[in-house]
A and B are shown apart, each in its own frame.
Chain A
């Protein structure tokens, strides 16, 4: 019964702000995406040596990201996701 109550409280806590928190997280993720791919779109990035190895991990979210950023097609010449 206690675990049922805990579950109910957790839902009551998170449901009203689920959207706002997810949107805030998406904004942070979008900024991170920009940092990782900044060299590729012409913005110098001193940490590119380190972010380079993150790129393969982020490719699967790349399409959604560039659509969200208002670019209909991939901004990278050598990577066409759509």
Chain B
């Protein structure tokens, strides 16, 4: 089948979802009111609460939620064939992620811009809040560890990616310095910065770099993982204007350019999908499609992380309540578009089915980012005439930069949580910047090495990361459902995805638990058990909160 067909079906599903389903949510469920005074106006302070134009708000909401996950997840999940991944991404975006992201934004706007964490305590209860904090910490830990492993693996798979990945740090710092200290025009700084970045991509492709195979008894992946976390630790304590902000910005710009180039190449070259709809011969160690597909692709179908962004920063900047429809729903559509591009690159970018089987047939999970870079590069060469080695470097760098910016922010957030625990439990040593950063980086390194990141098997924790992400999504949907019951609005829109997520997450955790046990990896067994306990608690807490809300709703009727 031609990849254009997938683009057309996917784009039509997203468009219909936006036109009809999000309209239903707007009018019948959330009942958005143009006269409602949003927190951005009611609590305007020029710091957190600032009314922002909807296109800008959508742009940075999308840039904040889009990461390496909607590329890596589908890149791994096509091992079961293109059809299951495609269906989960389209149905997930329209009926799961759309309502989740839109709903998280709306419920926060209706509650003084409070975050989902704070709302969990207000609407569901204090116990649920504690589970929430633990899940967030585990999620951050796994995000940082797994993204460190992914970057390390990709640096080895595509040595051309080394120069541009590290050059972008210099480019970002120069942009930050020129904009803040020299007051230069951002437009020109952007043009120069992006040109230098693409120049570095070309240079990287021409001059590939790699670390020695062995150094102090450590293999190349282990050396990269250590370098990356030392960098992440330093980056997390630098002022945001110097590195994080310009890096996010450059990354956002190249996200839009890269995505546009890839879709343009797909339209021009109209590649054929060589992968089977359902793979009859998945690798021997591949887990069953149901339920693992639904945790392997989290971002791109539904991701709890988006609720944190929607309720943490976006809700405080929403100018008018009806804008929540475009910002929230279309934010998830943007993410779905990225996941769709990943599915196409990983299934239509290989020359033949035997090439594809050669890549995916060896063992589970295959490197989703490598498949994206190899497949996407072939499509770009065919469609745009870009040499394959440069296109491959470009796409590898795109994925790496996503993972790296997420890591930068993730380590910083982990440090905040550790410092907060120091304050809450009165342990002064934890409140210091150096100690908390060392603990954050140390735990990530421990997990990365514990998962085999020092060797080649680090991606084994990818589905586990997916389960914690889905669990967070389930918690957000639970808050939304209880709130909707209190307002006597239709709840099927949130109850169906909520039930589905819990029903898929718990068996997925059990299957992985058996795998980790068989491998004798006790660190991952403990992590899995922690998340499994949290999932069961969420399910129980959810049932009791829903029953209580129903009783109260009936009593007040």
Contacts and interface: CB of A to CB of B under 8 A. Distances in A.
Nearest to B190: A9
The dominant DSSP class at the A interface is helix
A12 interface: yes
Contacts, number: 61
Given A2-B187, A24-B239, A26-B47, A17 B53 contact: no
A25 to B, nearest CB: 9
Contact of A15 (B52, B187, B190, B246): B52
B47 to A, nearest CB: 4
Interface in B83-121: none
Interface in B421-462: none
A64 B237 CA distance: 28
B187 A9 contact: yes
A19 interface: yes
Given A5-B187, A12-B249, A15-B317, A21 B241 contact: yes
B245 A8 contact: no
B208 interface: no
A22 B50 CA distance: 12
A46 interface: no
A56 interface: no
B64 A16 contact: yes
A15 B249 CA distance: 10
Nearest to B250: A13
Number of contact residues on A: which range applies? 20 to 34
B285 interface: no
B50 A17 contact: no
B56 A12 contact: yes
Interface in A23-79: 23-24, 26
B47 A18 contact: yes
Interface residues of B, number: 30
Contacts of A22: 46-47
Contact of B186 (A9, A16, A17, A23): A9
Which of A10, A19, A21, A22 is the most central at the interface, judged by chain B CB atoms within 10 Å of its CB?
A19
Contact of A16 (B179, B185, B313): B313
A6 interface: yes
B47 A8 contact: no
Given A12-B59, A12-B252, A15-B57, 14 more contacts: A5-B187, A8-B55, A11-B52, A11-B56, A12-B60, A13-B246, A15-B56, A16-B245, A17-B245, A18-B46, A18-B50, A21-B240, A24-B241, A26-B47
The 4 A-B pairs of least Cβ separation, nearest first, read A22-B47, A6-B187, A17-B245, A19-B48
24 contacts: A2-B187, A6-B185, A6-B187, A9-B190, A11-B53, A12-B249, A12-B252, A13-B245, A13-B249, A15-B52, A15-B56, A15-B57, A15-B60, A16-B60, A16-B63, A16-B64, A16-B313, A17-B241, A19-B47, A19-B48, A21-B240, A21-B241, A24-B239, A26-B47
